[in-house]
Structure 1
């Protein structure tokens, strides 16, 4: 399923690029890239390869453990991206990035707390069932 989602997303982005006429500005964008044309291609290629490795890794997590654990790893990774953009690319830390980091951390903590509540409920239910059997 993940491969098909990525394929459809790539096709939609490519169709949007072609329909809007933005593809005509790609050569000038390459020429105006600060680090040069070669690094422009290297940046795009490394971004696409890293996303593929990320996707395959998440699918591997689903197969080896569970989709909940895969989602929690994704939620932990969300705040890392804007922070790394600030550190590596010297990007500005604006209110939108701070807000997205706070929401990502809040989502992860909510997931952990819900898992904690579900585990406590399961332990309590199991303990009460065992105590009822011993009283009979």
Structure 2
């Protein structure tokens, strides 16, 4: 997601807290995350069945280099970690909206670099371009 689009999304969430929900409690934060996640799950599931991609799931699972159990665990822990991240971001918006925009936008620019360092990921042209674009977008956001 483009950093400015992400910042716009965060600002719209803050606006919805203030104008639509008119309550700023942690339970409202969790409700917002739960409802948006449920909607995204429904849309993704319908899209997967409508496109016919569900037919290739068994083959994809069996072709996973670490086996079927690792495939399922990877999916489960990816979903759990994204939910924890999303609740953290929504909670950050709840606490300090402008600061969360800056931090979230900065994290989009730093994440590819962290992947190179922590996971010893290989650098290629696409990653270089993505990192440059993220840095330019963060710079324009700060400007």
Shorter-chain TM range is: 0.5 to 0.7
Contact 1:86 1:93 in 2 (8 A): no
> CA separation of 1:86/1:33 partners in 2, compared to 1, >3 Å: closer, same or farther?
farther
CA distance in 1, matches of 2:61, 2:120: 17
TM-score (norm 1): 0.68
Q: Please tell me whether Structure 1 or Structure 2 has the larger radius of gyration of its CA atoms.
A: 1
Q: Match of 1:110?
A: 140
**1:54 Cα deviation from its structure 2 partner:** 0.8
> CA separation of 1:12/1:81 partners in 2, compared to 1, >3 Å: closer, same or farther?
farther
Q: Match of 2:129?
A: 99
Q: Which runs of 5+ in 2 are unaligned?
A: 1-12, 14-31
**1:21 Cα deviation from its structure 2 partner:** 1.1
TM-score (norm 2): 0.65
Q: Match of 2:53?
A: 22
**1:25 Cα deviation from its structure 2 partner:** 1.2
**1:49 Cα deviation from its structure 2 partner:** 0.7
Q: Match of 1:116?
A: none
Larger RCO of the pair (alpha carbons < 8 Å, separation 6+):
2
**1:85 Cα deviation from its structure 2 partner:** 6.9
RMSD: 2.4
Contact 1:75 1:105 in 2 (8 A): no
